[in-house]
Structure 1
């Protein structure tokens, strides 16, 4: 019972004791007035001007907003975790009722200016007026500006849609030289050596349905005596959608053109069928060209070359269909050349024809022997040959394409 009576008293004592160390708005107001009474935000941080102010940063990637290959626009949402120390903003917490940190607007103090030097439209600096700065009692300033960055990223669409891209966010500290400001990245614990670059922090990253992040890198380098910050993303396209929605339909439609040779010549639909399928391939080529940038460097898309091969073969198939129809409608009284007999009827000489006719008994036998190498028979043989060759050509093109891109 005594212990139970002691507990409320102890808790009351702790509350009274802790209240002596709490501060109110007046204490914080007095601290801010004292800190900024003689503060000049135009002067960079650091009391000793012989040494540069050290700015430590880290980049948190939240999402890949879009990547438009045709216009080279790459947009990401991210946060820069930025820390530096300003001795002019340090204070003794005991003089201000144990205040250890305050929150101030970023337009009140000096901030490191980093300018995006590969923007898609307008040049913009690293700044967000919606985010305040946390200032510690030792003068440490923590700033986390969140922005949507639109940058230029020239896409290499050689292996589209199985391509890999490397996009960068480049920032330049134009306001201060390296002797005045030193920018470094906060190093990750997983790095094995000092030679390795830091990584983009993906703890809050939302996976993109189109792009997969294979690797990242963050580093700073010197550029004309100024610090330059690089955020690099190695991306790989998720190609399942393109396989199902583009490559397979395009391939099936193109291969379908080979089966025109199985249609009877008497149907009269062969030429129309070939032209229709050929136009469908042209539509696929138009769709692909609309998605890719108008550029010839470093290489044009292999998928475009594949479809160009399909269209070229489709054109040859249409010409062969017209030629086959012409052979089929040839007059039977017109003699068949010997070289045609060699290729399609396997009758190498005129002498063999004579022997066959001599052996044949009666006029009906002669007629039967002559039909073995008629124009209709040649047209059928020509269709079978074209059917096999066209299928082999389509299969060869597809095999070569996937052998290169995969």
Structure 2
């Protein structure tokens, strides 16, 4: 019962104090004893999330002072904000047109006239976005707070004080309620007071944040790098495999899908091209060239002597000169020499002087080649010695002449087929050399392009001096 009695007395005392303070109080009048006096307003900011802030305002209202000893040691009152004078301090660079705070919490009024107001708010400020190094970028999002109607001669904006009475020149992070953002990391959070030419003061809070690129590395950059590797291996696939164009077109379609996915992630601005878009476009250009060059390689691979004649410079460059520099020496064809093949060569060399026709001339004919025929062909084959020479003339009958002509024709056709096969093989080898050349060129260009772009982004550090 005594406890209830004490609470009742305290509430009654607070009611009397409230009536006394607001007896002749006008909330529309600035709390200044005379016109030239400035009302000092201390502005601070506490960050709970990257989407939620607590704007802290403090000022002194001489009309709201009392002696705590006369009112049962009451040192602080909690008063609705619409009953006291408040400085009209708002976010100037507001982006959504909502200037009010999220919740009109009570104002804390102390016995010495100090008024503290800590309303929670979600501020959406307009910031210029630099997308050149996206997703390895950092942004400077500034929030400018000033009074709409009071200039510097009426309201003096100052930094908020900490518990030790020192000015706080940065955004305070409430460790108890702060939730780390999954996309942004806070690098700097300073504040600075500015006096404009129109004598209006403002306090600017700079929130310099750096993007966490892991999401974009895993979901976009790594797949693009793997896709570019596939584009390189298009040139490692043999032209005769039949899937060269299919692989090239499939890689190009995959990159097109990546571009569509990337369009929803990149900030919409035309002031710059993000580095990730440059890389995807660079990869797409490489893949497009791989499709075009694959057509060239297939064209070379399917050439024949009946449609194309190989120029001498092509033979010198792509068959004799270039292969040794790209690790593609052509294997030599080794034909083992057996005893039977040696006898056949002797037989062929014995008839080197023969010409198709009715008479064949043999230089120093081997008698062993003629003697086995004497039993069967003695009546039809005549061997005459040419006058004044050691050569013999072999006279053949008509039926044997036609047989030799047919064999000669078949030999010529086989020889022509061998020449055609050799030329076709040369064209196919040229296609392989060109394919390998493009492979090395794409490896070098893709590696250098990737390193140049992402090494440039790695030097995009946040500035040591946070002020622009």
2:191, 2:204 within 8 Å by CA — same for their partners in 1? Answer: yes
Counterpart secondary structure, 1:88? strand
Partner of 2:112: 138
Partner of 1:170: 144
1:256 equivalent in alignment to 2:230: yes
Partner of 1:6: none
Distance 1:336 1:245 in 2: 48
Partner of 1:198: 169
1:177: how far off?
Answer: 1.0
1:291: how far off?
Answer: 2.0
1:394: how far off?
Answer: 0.7
Distance 2:18 2:112 in 1: 14
1:231: how far off?
Answer: 1.2
1:3-402 aligned at under 5 Å gives the runs 23-64=9-50, 76-125=51-100, 127-186=101-160, 198-204=169-175, 205-223=178-196, 224-297=198-271, 299-333=272-306, 334-346=308-320, 367=419, 370=422, 374-402=426-454
1:151: how far off?
Answer: 1.5
Which string of whole-angstrom CA distances, capped at 9 and with x for unpartnered residues, describes residues 193-212 of structure 1?
99xx8111113322111111
1:373: how far off?
Answer: 6.4
Counterpart secondary structure, 1:291? coil
Distance 1:213 1:337 in 2: 65
TM-score (norm 1): 0.82
1:61, 1:79 within 8 Å by CA — same for their partners in 2? Answer: yes
Distance 1:50 1:380 in 2: 90
Distance 2:125 2:304 in 1: 69
1:47, 1:88 within 8 Å by CA — same for their partners in 2? Answer: no
Distance 2:80 2:216 in 1: 48
Partner of 2:399: none
Distance 1:84 1:347 in 2: 86
In structure 2, relative to structure 1, the CA distance for the partners of 1:259 and 1:189 (3 Å cut) is farther
Which string of whole-angstrom CA distances, capped at 9 and with x for unpartnered residues, describes residues 150-187 of structure 1?
11122111111111111011222112111110111125
1:273: how far off?
Answer: 1.2
Q: Name the larger-Rg structure.
A: 2
**Unaligned residue ranges in structure 1 (runs of 5+):** 1-14, 65-75, 349-360
1:287: how far off?
Answer: 2.3
CA RMSD between the two structures: 2.9
Counterpart secondary structure, 1:107? helix
Counterpart secondary structure, 2:15? helix
Counterpart secondary structure, 2:250? helix
In structure 2, relative to structure 1, the CA distance for the partners of 1:219 and 1:32 (3 Å cut) is same
1:366: how far off?
Answer: 7.3
2:319, 2:430 within 8 Å by CA — same for their partners in 1? Answer: yes
How many residues are aligned here? 362
2:28, 2:85 within 8 Å by CA — same for their partners in 1? Answer: yes
Counterpart secondary structure, 2:123? strand
Distance 1:347 1:157 in 2: 48
